[in-house]
């Protein structure tokens, strides 16, 4: 099917927002994009088809644990009362991956992209998300990379390193080459909250943050600006600020 290629990506900053509210917002945008693609397939003349849009949503969440489709509830170490005691919520969600934590001081990015505008390869998509994070961390003097077989970005990632530490978790969903969910970079995150889960189902590796690695508070806005730049570079995006 012939489509109009659109590499423009609208950046939406939701600030600090409830996980369920942002999830619902993602689902609305995601469904609109998928529905438009389905409709386009029924339109014979290419010039009559409506070009789909791309979005990059940034936010922070209040304390929350989310469990992906392939995850085990046993990796959540708190019961209902424990969640209340830690002012945390819990949701089973429709992304890949196991359990993770979101909270204040963590930069979350949800790209809702129509990959028909870029490439049709989910493996490549995940690797480019990782690459943008690695480049962002490099800008702050933090050396990070990948560990074979483990999605995400790590410190002490080299084979045989003494203490591999995850600094960015990832989990995505895709339908008809439209993506949702995304990545969570620990910037100034309270890492004690990871002690109440088996992060991503991995029990033999630690979790870290930019704050912990650098020994000082990190400017969230600066991290978001640099990450947006690197995402635009590795994907070939044309970044467009959200118009209210």
| Contacts for 70 with CB less than 8 Å, ≥ 6 apart | 96, 97, 98
> Which residues sit opposite 179 in a β-bridge?
174
> Which residues sit opposite 98 in a β-bridge?
none
**Residue with token string 């979101």:** 102
Please give the structure tokens belonging to residue 66.
């989310």
The secondary element (H helix, E strand) that includes residue 21 is helix 19-41
**DSSP three-state, residue 121:** coil
Please give the structure tokens belonging to residue 218.
């990190």
Task: Give the Cα separation of 237 and 232 in Å (integer).
Answer: 4
Distance of CA 97 to the CA centre of its chain: 12
CB-CB neighbours of 91 under 10 Å: 12
**200 carries an active-site annotation:** yes
**DSSP three-state, residue 101:** strand
Phi, psi of 105 (to 5 degrees): 85, 0
Q: Nearest to residue 66, comparing CAs of 103, 24, 15, 28?
A: 103
> Which residues sit opposite 106 in a β-bridge?
186
Phi, psi of 65 (to 5 degrees): -115, 135
* Given the residues 21, 59, 168, 200, the one annotated as active site: 200
Q: Which residues have a catalytic role annotated?
A: 200
């Amino acid at each position: 099917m012939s489509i109009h290629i659109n590499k423009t990506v609208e950046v939406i900053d939701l600030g600090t927002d409830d996980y369920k509210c942002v999830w619902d917002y993602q689902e609305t945008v995601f469904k609109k994009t998928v529905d438009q693609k389905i409709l386009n397939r029924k339109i014979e003349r290419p010039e009559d088809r409506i070009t789909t849009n791309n979005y990059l949503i940034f936010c922070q969440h209040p304390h929350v644990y989310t469990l992906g489709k392939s995850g085990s509830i046993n990796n959540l170490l708190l019961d209902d009362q424990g969640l209340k005691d830690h002012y945390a919520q819990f949701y089973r969600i429709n992304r890949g991956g196991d359990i993770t934590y979101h909270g204040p001081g963590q930069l979350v990015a949800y790209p809702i992209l129509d990959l028909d505008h870029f490439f049709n390869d989910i493996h490549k998509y995940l690797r480019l998300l990782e690459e943008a994070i690695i480049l962002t961390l490099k800008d702050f003097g933090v050396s990070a990379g990948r560990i074979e077989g483990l999605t995400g970005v790590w410190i002490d990632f080299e084979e045989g390193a003494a203490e591999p530490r995850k600094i960015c978790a990832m989990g995505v969903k895709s339908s008809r080459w439209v993506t949702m969910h995304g990545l969570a970079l620990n910037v100034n995150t309270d890492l004690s909250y990871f002690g109440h889960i088996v992060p991503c189902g991995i029990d033999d590796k630690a979790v870290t943050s930019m704050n912990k690695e650098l020994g000082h508070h990190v400017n969230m806005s600066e991290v978001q600006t640099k990450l947006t730049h690197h995402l635009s570079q590795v994907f070939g995006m044309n970044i467009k600020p959200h118009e209210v």
